[in-house]
Amino acid sequence: MKARVRTHSEIKQALCLNVEGEKLLKLEAFCRDEGVALIKALPSQGGETLEALLKGSTGGRNPGAEITVNSELLVMAGFDEKELRSFVGGLRQNGVVIALKAALTETNRSWTLSQLAGELAAEHEYMKDVQRKG
């Protein structure tokens, strides 16, 4: 996973989907401690672009489109590669395990949340199959 280098004016953000209960509380506390702004997306925001969701505005290709992936998802933005590795490691150490994770990139910033969720879910299933067969 390659993270893009952030500009100095960009803040660190994490966008989560389908994270609830105790895990959400842990994620909120960890992000607060790390100075990372946490944005909670709703399944009904599936048609919104990642960039729009991170800016707190609308601008999706299909506003109101539901996400069909029910897995937990985390998108991280504004991190350089070293910060990203540290953040993900810290999540794990704090008991916040989220299988579907991605860094915001120039390529995926214009994707809808639904597109990204679908891609990550398919990739995750493929890797699980490879591990089972390997």
Confidence label for 128 from pLDDT (cuts 50, 70 and 90): confident
17-51 pLDDT, tens per residue? 999 999 999 999 999 999 999 999 998 899 999 99
pTM: 0.85
Would 8 be classed as within a structural domain?
Answer: no
**Residue 1 lies inside a defined structural domain of this protein:** no
The verdict on residue 48 lying in a domain is yes
Residue 2 falls inside a structural domain: no
Range of 40's domain? 13-133
For the chain, the domain total comes to 1
3-state secondary structure the chain: CCCCCCCCCCCCEEEEECCCHHHHHHHHHHHHHHCCEEEEECHHHCCCEHHHHHHCCCCCCCCCCCCCCCCCEEEEECCCHHHHHHHHHHHHHCCCCCCEEEECCCCCCCCEHHHHHHHHHHHHHHHHHHHHHC
- 5 belongs to a structural domain: no
* Residue 4 belongs to a domain: no
Under the banding of pLDDT at 50, 70 and 90, the label for residue 59 is: low
